Chains A and B, each alone.
Chain A
Amino acid sequence: MAGLLDKLLKIDRRWIFFFVALSVTVPILVPLGLPISTTSATQMAFDFVEALEPGDVVLLSFDYGPSSAPENDPMAEGFMRHCLSRDLRVVVCVLYPLGALGLANNVVARIGHEFPNKVYGTDYVNLGYKDGDRAVMRRLGDSIADAFPTDVNGRPIADLPIFHGVRSIRQVKVVFTAATGLIGEWWITLVHAQFGTPVIIGPTAVSAPKYYAYISSGQLAGMLGGMKGAAEYEQLIGKKYPVLGNYYKGTRLFTAVKGMDAQTAIHFVIIVFILIGNVAFFASRLRQGRS
């Protein structure tokens, strides 16, 4: 018995890795379709976008790299689909240096294809990447054209109809930042604080806990926390817009809702191992106490 307890207390970590790999792989191959409940932070974000008027301009900022794409891509895609379904004008920009531009180009191309009635340059535009993160945000406060003189294809933004009536970030109705790291926080502390533009953030799950303080203080208009937040948003927009609902049900591409099955399984495995560890810990303490 003592030997078994020792073994349980010091399980070779490779067994843990094996079960983790299994719990991630199986649900992706065999989807479970588990239900997803909506948190208030995601509901806030959804309601905010729903309250905007057709023709309002929103800014979608790609502030993440390929490493967190499985979490952040569904957020960015869901937001852009939602906005185009509501006939909002979507301005896309990239402030993260490593790999984000490629991700933005892919998402804009894919979503643009899904909305053939939307015109590039009139309903949505991709401004590309600009170096300088905080300096760029400050410049956006005065003039978007100063920060991004041309779009990603080199076309002067003065020639683009999407910017009619919009000169700076002050005329933008909301900024959505799909972020990893600090850039998301800078949108709140710089852009929202100085120019009053509402911000919705889509951070990775590991960063999400620190943004609850910003939600409580009213500095954030909503949050999509990690893949769960993205899955909740996909569900909300799927229910409200049947076309999107059909897309999410039928697509073979990765979506956050599909990812939640794997996440559920892995949480289960981790909790089981924690319970095993604690049972073995207490049993061995009892045994030591008796002896």
Chain B
Amino acid sequence: MNSKTLKSVLVIIILMIFSCDEPETIVTDIVHTDGSVTRRIEMRNKKKDFDSSKLRVPVDSTWSYKDTVVYEMKNGKRDTTWIRTAEKNFISVDEINKEYLTDKGCNKASKRFVSFSRKFKWFNNEYRFSENVGKGLKYGYPIENYLNREEMNFFYLPKSISEEKMAGADSTKFKLLNDTIEKKVERWFWSCNLAEWIEEFTKLTAGRAGDDISKENLKKNEREIVNMIITKEPGADTVIISRFLGESNYRKFRKEADSTSSTISKRVEELSSFKEYSLRVSMPGKVISTNGYIDKNGELLWPVKSDFFLSCQYEMWAVSKISNTWAWIVSGLFLLFVLAGLIFRVIKK
């Protein structure tokens, strides 16, 4: 068995352990010109279990539901998929934001909000819609500091597409790229955590700690400590913290250090409990700009997962335009009028 196969087997084992048969969710926002939004949520599950605590976005009794069952034959066995579709019309994005504030689902810890704006630009009306997820860590570093443009593009790719790339032509290149990204992302993750730890710890020990464990001095050792964390064996946190602060400082501020570690753990737990889903947006008119992916039907797609908003707000936005026919006619007539006036003047002369 080669290492790749072994790795795949191990991943499958881990997946079996952690997989909870949770509904695969696609949230579709159909944006209208007046700012109203029709939100449709499609949840697919192998069981008829759509418990509210597993819902990625808030859904309550005011939504209209439809349940369907799909049977597929796979390897001679009948495969059943339960699909629950929920839909609701929101008069404005404020209503969606209100629902986010009272969310009781599995992603309630993340701050999410939606915005919509319309701009009159004479020949066109521009519509901008965005869905935002607030950052998980307060003092983390932006991912741009760790990944270059090519790596960033690959990092934000939906998993199905990145997997397709790794299996297709140039697979070696993409696999190498993926490996590089994984390593860099790991470093970024731990650097963010450590930055968070330093900030919280120095706040707790403000006025009492010496210069040797000032924020600036701790930051100087950040890289070295991150290297230690990456290569550490599980359970070696105490050793790392004592080396980071120095034995005497660790003894003196052990309570603060433990309290800080606990706070950071809670934040990361909240982040890691975020259940990912896909966001699909249908904009009015023609889409002219977006940071999402466009499928063959012209719909916009984004994966929503915790990696994307670890240290920075994750904004999924799109801009579309609708031409103002009357403005085109008025402008054309005005130009013709001015031209005719100038011709008239020349003739009169």
Query: Are A and B interaction partners?
Result: no
- Chain A residues in the interface with B (C-beta under 8 A): none
